[in-house]
Amino acid sequence: MTTVRNRDIPLLNDIAATMQLVTATERALDYTHDRMTSITSHLSGMPGGGALPKGLETAFALLEEAGEAHSAQIRQYAHELKQAERVLNAIESRSMRAVVIMKYVMDMPDRAIRRELNMTEYGFNRARRSVEDAACMAEVRWNETYILAGAEGEQKNSAGST
């Protein structure tokens, strides 16, 4: 467990978990739906009075409730995803945005992030500290490796990410 000051990190970190909950519910809903379809098709071939067997109506009602719960989960996921998009779009630096997505959304190991982004351990740790110590993602400052020359024609080169 890591203690951070940045209020946006828990939101970003929960996106993957919420998505997995929606996916698990979808699998359970698909299984239940397939099972009910199989039972219904089996029963429709049976001779008899046209009324559904006892308990089947309850099963259909449960299937409908599960579908409504799934819809509510999807709405919640869409809401959280919109919030996460706003948070990520508030990060001006593409480099910092990549670090944040890989670290806090995708939950990649630090070593893999450094390798993918060609960062030194020092550069990565500096970036992580600046993200975790900021009040929110919009306040994170990142020193880019290359900055376009100003009006005087001078090219600035800051410490950067590597």
Residue 101, class by beta-carbon neighbours within 10 Å (0-12 exposed, 13-18 middle, 19+ buried)?
Answer: middle
The pLDDT tens digits of the residues spanning 46-102 come to 555 555 555 677 777 777 888 888 888 889 889 998 999 999 998 888 888 999 999
Quick one: pLDDT at residue 146? 64
SS3 call for 159: coil
Arithmetic mean of pLDDT over the chain: 80
Interatomic CA distance for residues 117 and 105, integer angstroms: 16
Predicted local distance difference test score (pLDDT) of residue 145: 66
Q: Which distant-in-sequence residues (6+ apart) come within 8 Å of 91 by Cβ?
A: 97, 100, 137, 138, 140
